[in-house]
Amino acid sequence: MLKLAIFGSGSGTNCQAIIDAIEAGTLHAQITCVLSDVEDAYILERARKHNIPAIHFDCAPFKTKLDGEAEQNVLQILAEHDANFIALAGFMRIVKDGLLNAFAGRMINIHPSLLPSFPGLDGGKKAFDYGVKFTGCTVHFVDAGVDTGAVINQKIIAVEDGDSFESMMEKLHAQEHIAYPEALQWIAESRINFAGRRITLK
Q: How far is the CB of 173 from ligand GAR (least distance, A)?
A: 6
Residue 136 binds ligand GAR, judged by CB under 6 A? no
Does 36 bind ligand GAR (CB under 6 A)? Our answer is no
DSSP type of residue 150: P
The residues, ordered by sequence, that sit 6+ positions from 161 with a Cβ below 8 Å of its Cβ are: none
Closest by CA to 5, choosing from 40, 65, 57, 62, is 57
Q: Contacting ligand GAR (CB under 6 A), which of 29, 74, 83, 89?
A: 89
Q: Is 11 in the site for ligand GAR (CB under 6 A)?
A: yes
Cβ distance to ligand GAR smaller for residue 42 or 186: 42
**Minimum distance between the CB of residue 147 and ligand GAR, rounded to whole angstroms?**
7
Cβ–Cβ under 8 Å, residues 125 and 164: no
Residue 112 lies near ligand GAR (rule: CB under 6 A): yes
For the chain, what's the residue count?
Answer: 202
Which amino acid is present at 180? Answer: Y
CA-to-CA distance for 104 and 8, rounded, in angstroms?
A: 19
Residues that bind ligand GAR (CB under 6 A): 8, 10-14, 43, 89-90, 110-112, 123, 137, 173, 176
Q: Which residues carry out catalysis?
A: 111
